[in-house]
Chains A and B, each alone.
Chain A
């Protein structure tokens, strides 16, 4: 996949996708239109026939684009929700261990802070490059080790400890879901269908018998919109990549709370 599109600014990516679609259409209008026109030139009312076919095609293609766009949005929304839940579970866990007697409480808070800082500073940039961060596991293990080391010495400590263990499991669940989401994306085969559909759409417009300048204007506008739609889907796809992606904001807010006096 062309993952480099996520490494460039979104505005550049949008201009690139739109410009490329228009360029493809214009080049095709000059080079391919005369060839394609050969297939319909003896058909009476060719423009009407092409118009009917194009309308029919656009219904299916529009549906496909719409569904894919919804899927991409849903993926991003679900991943975003999981990230928020992981940060919330982490926050609750931080509060739980703050009630432990010292120095256990302080050591456990430091370890959670270390994990949160790692997620913001090191894990997130890796996720944005499509790499599953692995060093977080060591930090989680370090915390778990210390948590299980704690021996409650009163009924109150037992209750707090039980709640912390429950919250820790919740946190682990959402953390795992976040890591699974790093590779979430629309399958490559669907992208092939989307690109093929866009080319067929252009080819159908090339079949219209119009002046070249009219092709440039009308076909260019249609292609620009197709390019914009494809940009939109691609930008929302892969929830952790690019500028239009899930940010580490929930963790950043939590960390700001953790480090403040």
Chain B
């Protein structure tokens, strides 16, 4: 049986102009429904709640470092330093109002096939705005054609031999005129003992060969002949012959460009032969805080290393960075010269993108050439617009018992980069703000020593 409410039968009190209770309810309900539909429609149809911000599309930065294979231990540290910088940038609001997303594929320590392949993937699939990466010169040289093909920028943070120029590479590490030649100057100076019999020992690949060519010609220009030279294959563990040569030539100092695990055997052979750091100091150009962890302390204590940055640098900026890094990655982690360069390069890229107002490679490169400066842990980082290399300070450290370095010598001013030292590469010149690369006479590197 149907029941009716009073309002269904009785005319509304007050005459025809008055609104009935049912009408009022219907009207209010309809209005409320419409209002709710209008408010909820965006959420229902677009998937966002009204008033809630949507995440903006991240900017992809490629971190091209080996995470497995023989180079992993060194390269992983660079990846961490770059992640540290990216996380700092994201925490402070991102880049152009967008977060940076780090993509770090693993080239598995295979420079010739996987490095260029992963670089291509980063440029093509991930649409990386910039790539930070590589460790060895062979990996960098394999990646450069890919970077140039896609018109991107490669930020290379490791010290290398120079003798190279690419518009698409920003070099963050030291080159011989910023690292090796000042070390030679120091060895020849009274502070370094005025050593005249410098022996050159290195791994047999492009960096030691080129660096030693430069050293030989630099010494010759100063009227000094190297005591001798020896090369061993990468990973070699037999150094008896090299040490015997050092003894036979009566060398009073050694410049070492030995890379990787071979250093363990080299320093062991030196110790076994009774060559002390006081008599024959070894100045290494590839041993940093990270490498020292793998070397017996008794074998390396007192020997020297030439870098632009040491973890023990007693500045507020450095202490702050080291503390932040260790808080994030662990109390026993160490920082090193290539890590500092990698960290600074990410921040310089950020500044350049902000100044350019876009991710366009040409605009970013122009901004990088526009006197950008970043107050890094090791001092002010600045790109030389002509060579796209970095101004670097020179510091010489002596190994301490705690596997850190005492800085015993430091140049006050940063050294301008000279990727083609005229003493070794006459006529070669690079100036991207003018004519680009000017080629001189061909220089044969292999077999010079």
Determine the residue in chain B with the shortest Cβ distance to A139: B67
A142 and B76 contact, CB distance less than 8 A: yes
**What residues of A have a CB within 8 angstroms of the CB of B190 in the complex?**
none
Q: List which A1-17 residues lie within 8 A (CB) of chain B.
A: 2, 4, 7-8, 12, 16
| 9-residue interface stretch from A57-65, A76-84, A211-219 | A211-219
A16 and B49 contact, CB distance less than 8 A: yes
| 9-residue interface stretch from B25-33, B220-228, B370-378 | B25-33
**What residues of A have a CB within 8 angstroms of the CB of B98 in the complex?**
none
> Does B126 touch A at the CB level, under 8 Å?
no
**Given A103-B294, A138-B106, are A113 and B25 neighbors across the interface (CB < 8 Å)?**
no
Interface string of A40-70 (1 = CB under 8 A from B): 0100100000000000000000000000000
CA distance A23 to B293 in the complex (A): 67
CA distance A104 to B446 in the complex (A): 36
**What residues of A have a CB within 8 angstroms of the CB of B411 in the complex?**
none
Q: List which B276-316 residues lie within 8 A (CB) of chain A.
A: 293-294
| Number of A interface residues in the complex (CB < 8 A) | 39
B279: shortest Cβ distance to chain A, in Å?
Answer: 28
Which of A's residues lie within 8 Å of B, judged by CB?
Answer: 2, 4, 7-8, 12, 16, 19-20, 23, 26-27, 30, 41, 44, 102-103, 106-107, 109-110, 113-114, 117, 121, 135, 138-139, 141-142, 145, 209, 211-213, 216, 258-261
CA distance A77 to B73 in the complex (A): 38
> Does B2 touch A at the CB level, under 8 Å?
yes
**What residues of A have a CB within 8 angstroms of the CB of B30 in the complex?**
30
**What residues of B have a CB within 8 angstroms of the CB of A114 in the complex?**
76, 80, 329
**Given A135-B104, A212-B25, are A261 and B331 neighbors across the interface (CB < 8 Å)?**
yes
A23 and B33 contact, CB distance less than 8 A: yes
**Given A16-B49, A41-B2, are A138 and B68 neighbors across the interface (CB < 8 Å)?**
yes
B29 and A16 contact, CB distance less than 8 A: no
B76 and A8 contact, CB distance less than 8 A: no
> Does B72 touch A at the CB level, under 8 Å?
yes
B265: shortest Cβ distance to chain A, in Å?
Answer: 15
> Does B324 touch A at the CB level, under 8 Å?
no
Determine the residue in chain A with the shortest Cβ distance to B104: A135
> Does B12 touch A at the CB level, under 8 Å?
no
> Does B330 touch A at the CB level, under 8 Å?
yes
Q: List which B67-103 residues lie within 8 A (CB) of chain A.
A: 67-69, 72-73, 76, 80, 87
Determine the residue in chain A with the shortest Cβ distance to B33: A27
A113 and B294 contact, CB distance less than 8 A: no
B383: shortest Cβ distance to chain A, in Å?
Answer: 30
CA distance A54 to B25 in the complex (A): 27
**What residues of B have a CB within 8 angstroms of the CB of A107 in the complex?**
73
B293 and A211 contact, CB distance less than 8 A: no
Which of B's residues lie within 8 Å of A, judged by CB?
Answer: 1-3, 5, 22, 25-26, 29-30, 32-33, 36-37, 40, 43, 47-49, 52, 67-69, 72-73, 76, 80, 87, 104, 106, 293-294, 326-333
**What residues of A have a CB within 8 angstroms of the CB of B80 in the complex?**
114
B68 and A145 contact, CB distance less than 8 A: yes
CA distance A135 to B326 in the complex (A): 22
Determine the residue in chain B with the shortest Cβ distance to A111: B76
B25 and A141 contact, CB distance less than 8 A: no
CA distance A138 to B76 in the complex (A): 11
**Given A23-B33, A142-B76, A213-B25, are A103 and B331 neighbors across the interface (CB < 8 Å)?**
no
**Between-chain CB contacts (< 8 Å), 10 pairs:** A107-B73, A110-B330, A114-B80, A139-B67, A142-B67, A142-B72, A145-B69, A209-B2, A209-B3, A213-B25
B40 and A30 contact, CB distance less than 8 A: no
Partner of B333 from the list A7, A110, A209 (CB cut-off 8 Å) is: A110
CA distance A106 to B292 in the complex (A): 13
**What residues of B have a CB within 8 angstroms of the CB of A12 in the complex?**
49, 52
A16 and B40 contact, CB distance less than 8 A: yes
A103 and B293 contact, CB distance less than 8 A: yes
B372: shortest Cβ distance to chain A, in Å?
Answer: 28
B399: shortest Cβ distance to chain A, in Å?
Answer: 16
Partner of A113 from the list B22, B69, B329 (CB cut-off 8 Å) is: B329
CA distance A102 to B295 in the complex (A): 10
A138 and B67 contact, CB distance less than 8 A: yes
CA distance A26 to B67 in the complex (A): 60
B112: shortest Cβ distance to chain A, in Å?
Answer: 20
A109: shortest Cβ distance to chain B, in Å?
Answer: 8
* Given contact pairs A30-B29, A113-B329, a sample of 13 additional A-B residue pairs in the complex whose CB atoms are under 8 Å apart: A4-B47, A19-B40, A23-B37, A30-B26, A30-B30, A103-B293, A107-B73, A113-B330, A139-B67, A211-B5, A216-B29, A259-B329, A260-B331
B99: shortest Cβ distance to chain A, in Å?
Answer: 11
